[in-house]
Homo-oligomer: A and B are copies of this chain.
Amino acid sequence: MPLTDLPAEALRGYRAEHTPPADFDSFWSATLAEAEELGRAPVFTPVETPLRTIDAFDAVFSGYAGDPVRAWLLLPRERGGPLPCVVEYPGYGGGRGVPLDSLVYASAGYAHLVMDVRGQGGGWRTGHTPDPSASGETHHPGFMTQGVLDPERYYYRRLMTDAVRAVSAAAAHPGVDADRIAVMGASQGGGLALAVGGLRGDLAAVITDVPFLTHFRRGAELAAEGPYLEISRYCRVHRDQVDRVFSTLRYFDTLSFAPRAAAPAEFSAAAMDAVCPPSTVYAAYHAYAGPKDIRLWEFNGHEGGETHQHLRRLAFLQRVLGG
């Protein structure tokens, strides 16, 4: 696959011009306050699995509008006191799957919460959390344009709120050390991690690989495959709503969240990524306000670093969370 975004040198210096909406902060503080108000304490139920080294719990916590959201909490069976915890968000189209899908972090000694994604889970990994607040607006097949003409009704308002609440849910479990929680994800998961990074002040770390939900306009103009295309296809039909679409998306763009973040962050981008163009990732990287580092995978597409990335993440977690 040839390079389709900027060459490496230009990539590394790429910065976007971006202004969040004027009421960005009030929009989000109202949204989160409402969710908190409607929330109940999370419930953790042990589940039986074929695993001998890891304990798994089916978690249910209150997300947007108090809607119930599921997650797995995985803990190494042999453990002492409360553990540092990694809260992970799946990529687009996937759900939390089954515990067997997520062995790395608990095997490495961390508490690991894998959040389900409302409505998603029919694309590559199963999920079990509906989106009861779905408002059913006209949209392009997929989730990217559900409610996109109105920030209040946009799908990611709900999902990002869930992601913020997932951290509180993890913190509520006695096996978790609430002072050492990292958020993590790749693609959509990486976008959510950045959003949560900008919305919560209590995180110990942010890990974001080939993040999606970033520099939406450039993504929609540059991506050759993947969910940014839902936006460009919607705009193809709704030719007269293009400005309104991108006006909504500014409330959910990681470029709006990144300057509000403070936790140490580890980024990665992939130079041949046709789903989340690497320049959009560098734009977020440069906008990020906390301590940060980035790795460019020069010959990779959206798969990014794969196992190498897990190893890099573990080394970073070891540094920032201990272990």
Contacts and interface: CB of A to CB of B under 8 A. Distances in A.
B135 A130 contact: yes
A141 B118 contact: no
Interface residues of A, number: 84
Contacts of A7: 221
A131 B101 CA distance: 33
Contact of A240 (B107, B139, B308): B308
A310 interface: yes
A127 B118 contact: no
Interface stretch (A16-24, A161-169, A251-259, A296-304): A296-304
A299 B232 contact: yes
A37 to B, nearest CB: 21
Interface stretch (A51-59, A172-180, A191-199, A203-211): A51-59
Interface in A89-105: 93, 95, 97-98, 100-101, 103-104
Interface string A30-70: 00000000000000000000111110000000000000000
A1 B136 CA distance: 26
A140 B119 contact: no
Interface string A211-238: 0000000001111100001101111111
B3 A222 contact: yes
Contacts of A134: 134-136
Given A118-B136, A233-B299, A235-B298, 8 more contacts: A1-B229, A50-B108, A97-B307, A122-B145, A122-B238, A131-B136, A141-B142, A239-B298
B108 A51 contact: yes
State the 8 A-B residue pairs at the shortest beta-carbon distance, nearest first.
A131-B136, A122-B140, A141-B142, A235-B299, A134-B136, A53-B53, A52-B109, A121-B138
A286 interface: no
B107 A51 contact: yes
A221 B52 contact: no
B123 A141 contact: yes
A128 interface: yes
Contacts of A221: 2-3, 7
Contacts of A76: 52-53
Contact of A233 (B51, B123, B230): B123
Contacts of A128: 138
A185 interface: no
Contacts of A301: 236
